[in-house]
């Protein structure tokens, strides 16, 4: 259970833990370098929060974001989808496979919601709020509003993809967003980490470290 709240955290704040799953950690199908190293940091962060939500990438087999569904294409190439440009990924986080499971050392038993995303075969979903077509809502914004939660602190995988889009969409939806940088790791595909930092500055997403909670 969470410990006493620090001065930084108030009862209407939420820790959003993004996609800390086996396939995004070393040995997984889409491993992020050092992905598992965020787990103890997130476990510590979670003790400061009364409210925690976890997200879980949850793709069906033959998802349209998989390179394997596009003959002649390779992983990390891009294709044009009806909703825009789509990076092609290795098959990952397929529903009911070990790789889709949350990391076994993630210790956030007081999490109040596990939000699954990416389960529509024809649309990828980086953001916890909105699928990549920028029209299909996940329902998270409504959940947060009904719970009276106003500020989000984000951590997880990967900084420059799912954390990035979740933080920006949080601001667009009217929430304040803080990204705990040392509780994230990057893919850094085609300079995506630097682009993420620029967009965070543009949208007012604040970048902090876990030392702020000490």
Catalytic residues: 19, 117, 162
User: Of 180, 205, 200, 164, which Cα lies nearest the Cα of 43?
Assistant: 180
Strand partners, 78: 87
Token look-up 């030392």 returns 211
Strand partners, 114: 54
For residue 158, cis peptide bond before it (omega within 30 degrees of 0): yes
Q: HSE, CB side, 13 Å, CA atoms: give it for residue 124.
A: 23
First to last CA, the chain: 18
Please state the φ and ψ torsions of residue 154, each to the nearest 5 degrees: -110, 145
User: From CA 11, how far away is CA 1, in angstroms rounded?
Assistant: 14
């Amino acid at each position: 259970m969470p410990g006493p709240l620090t001065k930084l955290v108030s009862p209407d704040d939420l820790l959003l833990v993004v996609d800390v799953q086996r396939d995004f950690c070393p040995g997984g199908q889409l491993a992020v370098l050092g992905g598992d190293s965020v787990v103890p940091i997130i476990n510590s962060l979670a003790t400061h929060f009364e409210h925690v939500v976890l997200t879980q990438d949850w793709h069906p087999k033959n998802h349209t974001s998989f390179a394997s569904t596009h003959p002649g294409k390779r992983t990390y190439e891009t294709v044009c989808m009806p909703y825009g440009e789509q990076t092609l990924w290795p098959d990952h986080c397929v529903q009911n496979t070990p790789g889709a499971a949350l990391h076994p050392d993630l210790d956030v038993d007081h999490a109040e919601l596990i939000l699954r995303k990416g389960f529509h075969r024809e649309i990828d979903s980086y953001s916890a709020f909105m699928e990549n077509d920028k029209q299909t809502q996940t329902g998270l914004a409504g959940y947060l509003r009904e719970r009276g939660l106003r500020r989000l602190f984000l951590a997880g995988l990967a900084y420059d993809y799912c954390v990035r889009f979740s933080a920006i969409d949080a601001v667009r939806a009217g929430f304040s967003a803080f990204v705990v940088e040392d509780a994230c790791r990057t893919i850094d595909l085609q300079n995506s980490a630097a682009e993420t930092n620029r967009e965070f500055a543009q949208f007012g997403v604040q970048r902090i470290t876990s030392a702020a909670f000490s």
